[in-house]
Amino acid sequence: MPLNHFVTLGRSGLRVSPYCLGTMTFGEDFGWGASPEESFAMFDEYRNRGGNFVDTANVYTFGHSERIVGDYLRQNKVRRDELVLSTKFYCNLFPGDPNGGGAGRKALIQQCEASLSRLQTDYIDIYWLHNWDQTAPVEETLRGLDDLVTAGKIRYVGFSDIPAWKTAEAQTIALFRGWSPIIALQLEYSLLERTSEGELFPMARSMGMGIMPWSPLKSGFLSGKFRRGAQGHVDTTRANMVGVPGEADYNVIEAVVEVASELGVSPASVALAWVRSQAGVTSTLIGARRLDQLKSNLDSLEVTLSAEQIGKLSVVSRPKLNFPAENNDTLAPMLAFAGMTVDGKTVRSFERLSA
């Protein structure tokens, strides 16, 4: 699947590449990441392969990521409308200013204006609420975002890292009021983080939201750098922030390595291909610190896993979900359908199970 085999994002008319270029690594201000020159090279690689979807945030490298993206667009005379450009708001870049971040009207408008300035553009395609602001009424946030759509400063609304119940409430209010709906969710998802399957995935599919996984390699844990019992230094500065894999994680990592060996590809390619194969996933966020890492991740679009390989990885990585997700998936169908086949799925009867 090439980058220019586009997919529609959620219940919208927006077409995007199956991989979105994540730019949290653009800039070295966090003590790790890519220089502006390396960032430009990765941007070139992504666009040359046909990619059209770029994601950033006001807080990435304290605003430097947005400036690098804006500088790239200007210096390369990129036709703005050919790119789907998204950024996020919520994080406060002004310590001591209570309205410097969050999702209140004053805060979100000033954050939008600042991002537009750094990006050197007059509109943002998708504007994401980065986290849940528990102090701001969601109606205020939604109306503020709808006003930005009306003003032409943003085109679509997205949510990132917000609880499922709050997202469902927000979507219901937006649809009832005739305000711009939430078209997509950004959430952490990988073979080592699947708990969003309990609430967020079914909610998104039901309410017309595309799912955009971030950290599909779990901060590099699934890249092939980490192996059980391996000796020596692992070349990943960011991993120092998130620790090392646990014992259960290594069971998943070893399964990924086995499948990668069968196919003759990298473990990262297998991990990315598994994420792409999951129902509801639209476009996956990929990022890199170096051009060679990005090239390898983009190459993974050519990797297709068999049903057996997907099943093997899904079983070894199966998470324990919060109640009532597992109850609804196993016990409830038995009680409802008593061994019948419904929608192509046959379930055991409760009586037979209890016997």
Catalytic residues: 60
Query: H-helix or E-strand containing 8?
Result: strand 7-8
Closest Cα to residue 216, out of 188, 237, 254?
Answer: 188
Are 157 and 186 a contacting pair, CB within 8 Å? no
> Strand, helix or coil at 281?
strand
What distance lies between CA 148 and its chain's CA centroid? 23
Closest Cα to residue 38, out of 25, 51, 29?
Answer: 25
Rg (CA), the chain: 21
* Tokens standing for residue 340: 């019948």
Dihedral of alpha carbons 333, 337, 339, 341, sign:
negative
* Tokens standing for residue 334: 């038995």
Are 123 and 117 a contacting pair, CB within 8 Å? no
Are 348 and 334 a contacting pair, CB within 8 Å? yes
Q: How many Å apart are CA 32 and CA 55, to the nearest integer?
A: 18
CB atoms within 10 A of CB 86: 26
Residue 333, preceding peptide bond in cis (omega within 30° of 0): no
Q: How many Å apart are CA 334 and CA 209, to the nearest integer?
A: 29
Within a 13 Å sphere around the CA of 310, how many CA atoms are in the beta-carbon half? Answer: 13
Q: How far is CA 146 from CA 32, 101, 182, 274, 281, in A?
A: 36, 18, 11, 35, 25
> Strand, helix or coil at 52?
coil
Query: What 3 state SS string does 261-278 have?
Result: HHHCCCHHHHHHHHHHCC
